[in-house]
Amino acid sequence: MSKSCAVTGKSTKMAGGYSNRTRATQFNPTGKKRRRANLQKKKIFVPELNKTMSLTLSTTAIKTMNKNGVFATLKKAGII
């Protein structure tokens, strides 16, 4: 299973942690935190191809497919 979205390309990112103590002091490093994308493994049926595909998608990509259609979204992403 891939760690990135097939449609949007979202994956994990490194970001700075932020503690509540930072507000009270001038400098209080907390180190780096890994921010993971909300990835879901989905089986999607494409009626134009009469085919079922298993993809790892972000929730944003799932919403986009519901709005614009599965075939159009996958074609724009270059998967089909």
pTM for the model stands at 0.81
Domain ranges, ordered by start, for the chain:
13-77
Helix (H, G, I), strand (E, B) or coil at 38: coil
Which pLDDT score is estimated for 30?
A: 74
Q: Which amino acid is at 17?
A: G
d(CA 24, CA 73): 47
For residue 52, is pLDDT > 80?
Answer: yes
Neighbours of 6 (CB within 10 A): 19
Q: Which amino acid is at 78?
A: G
Q: Which of 52, 36, 44 is nearest to 3 (CA)?
A: 36
CATH number of this structure's domain 13-77, picked from the four choices 2.30.170.40, 3.30.1330.40, 1.10.1060.10, 1.10.340.30: 2.30.170.40
User: What digits encode the pLDDT tens for the residues 17-51?
Assistant: 777 776 666 666 777 889 999 999 999 999 999 99
